[in-house]
Amino acid sequence: MKKYSNLNINVIKAYLVHLLTGTGILMSFFSIISILNEDKFLTFLFLIIALFIDVIDGNLARKYNVKKFCPYIDGMMLDTIVDYINFVFIPCIIIYKFNYVPEQFEIIVPILILFISLFSFSYLKIITENYLYLGFPSIWNVIVIYLSILDLNVWYNLFIFLILLILKIIPIKVIHPMRYKNHKRKNSIIALGLIFISLILLLNSLSINILDKFKLIFEITWYVLNAYFIVFIICINLNFKKD
């Protein structure tokens, strides 16, 4: 009886993890509504909530062994659907709607991102055995958040988008902070910290001043943590070439 009870609890936990992943699509819906209402703050707020869900649900899925206790729901398929919408499709609408690039490129850039990212998502070897992305990952939600924080000229934004699109088809190795086996816990903590700091800086960029005299500290921390991942990626690729 006790064994049967434990099995039921494990099944419930597995379904709850899938339910958590599925809430990402609700964030998609609310984010799109916010775009239609031209509410930039809520648009990004729902995207950041979806990003946080994506960061934690994978670890929970492995912890509670959802493949064993919920075998009839494909968690990877579920996660991929939600990710494409939140990481690619909605950011493309944001680029078009909120003037991130020069007007003559408002359609071209989203089309390129949508098309290239579609094949990136469907490429079977996009993630290596050691959980490294092959090419720049399709984290366009993070990119539009960062560009909002930096508040650059639209031509600089265009240059950044084009460089990242080129990097998508170059076989560089980019870490998956939640799954790359080396320094996994440290990278996960830093990634979660970046999400929090990015949210605060984003609010500040949208004229919701909650930092006051601490703004410089947050900005320096943000740059340092991002620099850490950039250096980490460079080191991985240098070691990869040596091997």
Q: Is 88 helix (H, G, I), strand (E, B) or coil?
A: helix
pTM: 0.86
> According to the model, what pLDDT value does residue 230 have?
85
Place of tokens 């320094």: 183
Q: Is 94 helix (H, G, I), strand (E, B) or coil?
A: helix
Rounded to whole angstroms, the Cα distance separating 144 from 180 reads 24
Residue pLDDT, tens place only, 176-187? 766 666 777 778
For residue 202, which of 187, 191, 218 has the smallest C-alpha distance? 218
Polymer length in residues for the chain: 243
Q: What are phi and psi of 132, to 5 degrees?
A: -115, 135
Residue pLDDT, tens place only, 106-164? 999 999 999 999 988 887 777 776 667 777 888 999 999 999 999 899 999 999 999 99
Domain boundaries along the sequence of the chain: 2-242
pLDDT above 50 for 226: yes
Residue pLDDT, tens place only, 47-96? 989 988 988 887 788 888 888 888 888 888 888 899 999 999 999 999 99
